[in-house]
Amino acid sequence: VPELPEVETVANGVHTRIAGETVLDATFSGLAPTFLTPPHILGPALIGARIEGVRRVGKHIVCDLTPPAGEPTQFLVHLGMTGRLLVSQPEVPRPPHTHAALALSSGRELRFIDPRRFGRLALHTAGPFTGPGSEPLTISPDEFARLFRGRKLAIKPALLHQGLLHGVGNIYADESLHLARIRPSTPAGRISRPRLDRLHGALQSVLRQAIALGGSSVSDYVDAEGHRGFFQLQHRVYARTGLPCSTCSTPIRRVVLGGRSTHYCPRCQR
Ligand SMILES: [Zn+2]
């Protein structure tokens, strides 16, 4: 499942390749449930629009559009589990499960491919899209601490709660809790301010490092050109059950918290 660093990598890659281009044509599969906005509305909104830029908000990729007439709109792409957004030359055959292909003024195509169809495409017209929660890369330590005040929820599921912080998923929650030396099952509201500050710093540093390495390639994630990321080689606890902790050599333990696999070092994380 692509998380914040992977979505950021894809958004930045697509931005570099297509910002400033105009959408000349659009082809859709129309298959449910991919289209939150139906193709008969999406098509006319996209065709003729200039793509001002592509950026990440939470786990969404936002294409900022200026249509030939009317208000600026935003085309939202959520990659779901297996979604990919690729910039391709038109002569490259469209892969199976291509749900959207936008012909661009450069001659290239922006393609959305999604075999399992957990991804979503939508048009957002009501002002700038901000997503449900706070942005983990820019939230201040004070705002971060305020999110968890009085919460009985364990810190691991609290980090995954998209209404609190958007974009943090299983890998980066586990990794940042290990870096901050906090047990994932600790009730969020019971963590002291100095430890929350440590977690704030750890989360931002883990996310920035992962973005610098092009994200983590687990399952189907690839960037805008189809390359895999390298952050999985840096994982300290994620999917390392039974392997020695990089800090103290204690075997990494796996538990299920809030329905999700959780990996931690029983010695370093208290
Ligand atoms: Zn350890």
Q: What pLDDT score does 220 carry? A: 47
Q: How far apart are CA 250 and CA 245, in angstroms?
A: 5
CA separation for the pair 157, 153 (Å, rounded):
7
Centre of ligand 1 from the C-alpha of residue 8, in Å: 30
For residues 100 and 218, the model is more confident at 100
State how far the Cα of 139 lies from the Cα of 61, in Å rounded to an integer: 19
What's the confidence (pLDDT) of residue 1? 74
Question: What pTM does this model have?
Answer: 0.84
Question: For the residues 192-204, what does the mean pLDDT come to?
Answer: 98
Question: In angstroms, what is the span from residue 267 Cα to ligand 1's centroid?
Answer: 5
Report the 10 Å Cβ neighbour count for 183: 17
The neighbourhood of ligand 1, an ion, using CB within 5 A, equals 245, 247-248, 250, 265, 267-268
Q: Is the dihedral of CA 176, 178, 181, 183 positive or negative?
A: positive
pLDDT at residue 33 tops 60: yes
C-alpha 270 to ligand 1 mean position (Å): 10
pLDDT at residue 232 above 90? no
Q: Mind listing the pLDDT tens digit for each residue in 172-188?
A: 999 999 999 999 999 99
Active site residues: 2-3, 59, 260
Using one digit for the tens of pLDDT, what is the confidence trace for 117-133? 999 999 999 888 988 89
Cis peptide bond upstream of 33, omega within 30: yes
Q: Which letter does DSSP use for residue 97 in this model?
A: T
Encode pLDDT of 82-96 as tens digits.
Answer: 999 999 999 999 999
Determine the distance separating the centroid of ligand 1 and the alpha carbon of 261, expressed in angstroms. Answer: 18
